[in-house]
Amino acid sequence: MTAIVAPDRVGIERACALLKAGEVVAIPTETVYGLAGLALSESALLKIFEAKDRPHFDPLIAHIALPRHTVNILDYVERRKLVNLERLVGKARDRLDDVLSALWPGPLTVVLPRAAGVPDLLTAGLPRVALRMPAHPVAQEILESVGAPLAAPSANRFGRLSPTTAAAVAEELGDRIPLVVDGGACRVGIESTIIALGDDDRFVLLRPGGMPKERIEARLGQPLVLAADATGKTPMDAPGQLPSHYAPERPLTLIDSIADLDAAGGAPFGLLTWESRAVALPPGSTQLALTHAGALDEGARNLFSQLRALDRAPHTRIFAERCPNDTGLGYAINDRLRRAAHRGGA
């Protein structure tokens, strides 16, 4: 079984010693818990894929430490030996500089041209690498003291719900990893937003997430290109876009409002409503609410832990009400609910 340690000096030293020795350790970030390992070590990366049962075609995000002193963010990123920004000049370079200066550290991942020497396993052989600077103080302390970038996918078995507490990590990977650092419940609760720099120097939204897309667009001064256009074609390789992902084990049905709930038949079920309210349900059913009064950040924070709780309750199916607001974090919440509901054979 895995050990769960507090994020005190002893716990962090133990985590860093394991990481430096090429082992994997689950660490808290402000979005979800990550399963960390050295980003530039093939053998550490293999251990991450193995613990998660993750297919090698799905690349990982490299996490980097906060700079210790004030520096130009792009110079700093280039010195981490992960990206090659030679081709990026003029306005396009200024735009990226501005976005990263304003929005890092935080729940934003940026996919950029990779440097030579980056392991193929990290990027699944793609020409770009994903980078994130997490804001969580424990993640930062670990990155700083390991002194090298850490790959960290969400610390769940492939395709399942991301963990937002140390206990949820233990439930997912407890028999497969040596250590979990307990940093408490994740503040954001939903994975980072991923944007990628396209060949035309515009940014593509690969995954909505904890950084509202409107905030990124306001900073860029231009709209993000959506990953799947109307024809369903993706403007670039976006391997993480599987329709079924972030899924509970029980079948989940998405409803627009509880008025659409078909409680006929009388079998008990799990129900996740957007706001808390009284609903008449068959006896033995479980009802949870994502928010008290509709705050989007509260809904994001509770999403995975409540889906996980409903998945544990003794029902055969789950209904979840869509977030009525499809902007900001609501857009990311609805993306996750849609993928949790998709059972297209994946």
Query: Which among 306, 312, 308, 315 is positioned nearest to 268, based on CA atoms?
Result: 315
For 91, other C-beta atoms within 10 Å of its C-beta total 8
- With vertex at residue 165, the alpha carbon angle to CA 65 and CA 227, rounded to the nearest 5 degrees, is 65
Q: Which does 248 bind (CB under 5 to 8 A by kind): Mg ion, ligand TXA, none?
A: none
User: Binding to ligand TXA by residue 165, rule CB under 6 A?
Assistant: no
Shortest distance, position 311 Cβ to ligand TXA, whole Å: 18
User: Binding to ligand TXA by residue 61, rule CB under 6 A?
Assistant: yes
5 vs 61, which CB is nearer to ligand TXA? 61
Which residues, listed in sequence order, are joined to residue 147 by a DSSP beta bridge? none
Rule CB under 5 A: which of 297-316 touch Mg ion? none
48 vs 288, which CB is nearer to ligand TXA? 48
Q: Which one of 3-11, 113-121, 151-159, 171-179 is the stretch in contact with Mg ion (CB under 5 A)?
A: 151-159
Q: Which one of 43-51, 95-103, 125-133, 279-287 is the stretch in contact with ligand TXA (CB under 6 A)?
A: 125-133
- With vertex at residue 70, the alpha carbon angle to CA 64 and CA 74, rounded to the nearest 5 degrees, is 55
Report how far apart, in Å, the C-alpha atoms of 271 and of each of 57, 292, 295, 307, 311 are: 34, 15, 19, 9, 11
Distance, in Å, from the CA atom of 186 to the CA atom of 152, rounded to the nearest integer, reads 15
Q: Which does 111 bind (CB under 5 to 8 A by kind): Mg ion, ligand TXA, none?
A: ligand TXA
Q: Which of 153, 183, 299, 328 binds ligand TXA (CB under 6 A)?
A: 153
Shortest distance, position 5 Cβ to ligand TXA, whole Å: 18
7 vs 270, which CB is nearer to ligand TXA? 7
CB-CB contact of 33 with 27 (8 Å): yes
User: Binding to Mg ion by residue 154, rule CB under 5 A?
Assistant: yes
Q: Which of 84, 123, 140, 302 binds ligand TXA (CB under 6 A)?
A: 123
Q: Which of 165, 192, 302, 306 binds ligand TXA (CB under 6 A)?
A: 192
CA 339 to the chain's CA centroid:
13
Rule CB under 6 A: which of 69-108 touch ligand TXA? 107
31 vs 291, which CB is nearer to ligand TXA? 31
Burial (CB < 10 A; 0-12, 13-18, 19+), residue 17, is middle
Distance, in Å, from the CA atom of 278 to the CA atom of 264, rounded to the nearest integer, reads 18
Q: Mask of contacts with Mg ion, 48-77, x by CB under 5 A?
A: ------------------------------
Query: Which among 248, 236, 254, 261 is positioned nearest to 309, based on CA atoms?
Result: 248
Please name the residue ranges forming H helices in the chain.
9-20, 42-52, 73-79, 90-103, 120-123, 137-146, 166-173, 213-220, 296-312, 329-341
Paired tokens of 30: 């402000």
User: Binding to ligand TXA by residue 132, rule CB under 6 A?
Assistant: yes
Angle between helices 296-312 and 166-173 (to 10 degrees): 40
Q: Which of 152, 211, 288, 337 binds ligand TXA (CB under 6 A)?
A: 152
Q: Which one of 2-10, 63-71, 154-162, 302-310 is the stretch in contact with Mg ion (CB under 5 A)?
A: 154-162
Beta pairing, strands 203-207 & 225-226: parallel
Q: Which does 23 bind (CB under 5 to 8 A by kind): Mg ion, ligand TXA, none?
A: none
User: Binding to Mg ion by residue 193, rule CB under 5 A?
Assistant: no
Instruction: Tell me the site size for ligand TXA, rule CB under 6 A.
Output: 28
Site for ligand TXA, rule CB under 6 A = 29, 31-32, 34, 58-61, 107, 109, 111, 123, 126, 128-130, 132, 134, 152-154, 191-192, 194, 206, 238-240
